[in-house]
Amino acid sequence: METIQKGTLTSVVVCSAEELMPGQRKIVVVDGVEIAMLNVDGQMYAFRNRCPHQGVEMVYGAVSGAMLPSNPGEFIYGCDNQIIRCPLHGWEFELETGKSLFSPEKVSIGNYVIEERAGSIVLKLKREPKNISLRNFRCTH
């Protein structure tokens, strides 16, 4: 895997764009930390692959929306395909920021900058990694 240092972030090519098509998910392990990468309708997201509640792998979580604040007796659904839900206890996090819906200032799965560049998926990290690998897994979402 190729790494490029630019400014304060290090760009790492983790796979080809063909390996992370819409609807697909991948796990990259960077210096022992698992990062989940998702392509949701052409928009890519990357975040730490552990729920802060009990350490469950977030890559298996459902991507959906959430019920929005509303008046009593009113039910408004929104943020479609912008929320990932922990597969064990249902904790919900914004895909874009990694912040929880219930306590965004205190609870997060973090997030990483991810982009497609010249046919490759590039992950941007705060430091140059010593060890990077893709982890195989099965997910039927």
CA–CA separation, 110 and 96 (whole Å): 9
β-pairing, 9-16 vs 120-125, is antiparallel
Lowest mean pLDDT among 1-5, 20-24, 58-62, 125-129: 1-5
CA–CA separation, 64 and 88 (whole Å): 15
Say how many C-beta atoms besides its own lie within 10 A of residue 35's C-beta.
Answer: 23
Per residue in 46-77, pLDDT tens? 999 999 999 999 999 999 999 888 899 999 99
User: What's the CATH fold of domain 3-135?
Assistant: Rieske Iron-sulfur Protein (2.102.10)
Single out the residue of 49, 61, 65 nearest to residue 110, CA to CA. Answer: 49
Q: Which residue has the tokens 């392509």?
A: 39
Per-residue pLDDT band for 137 (boundaries 50, 70, 90) equals confident
- 129 alpha-carbon distance from chain centroid: 19
What is the model's pTM?
A: 0.89
- Domain positions in the chain are 3-135
Q: What is the average pLDDT score of the chain?
A: 92
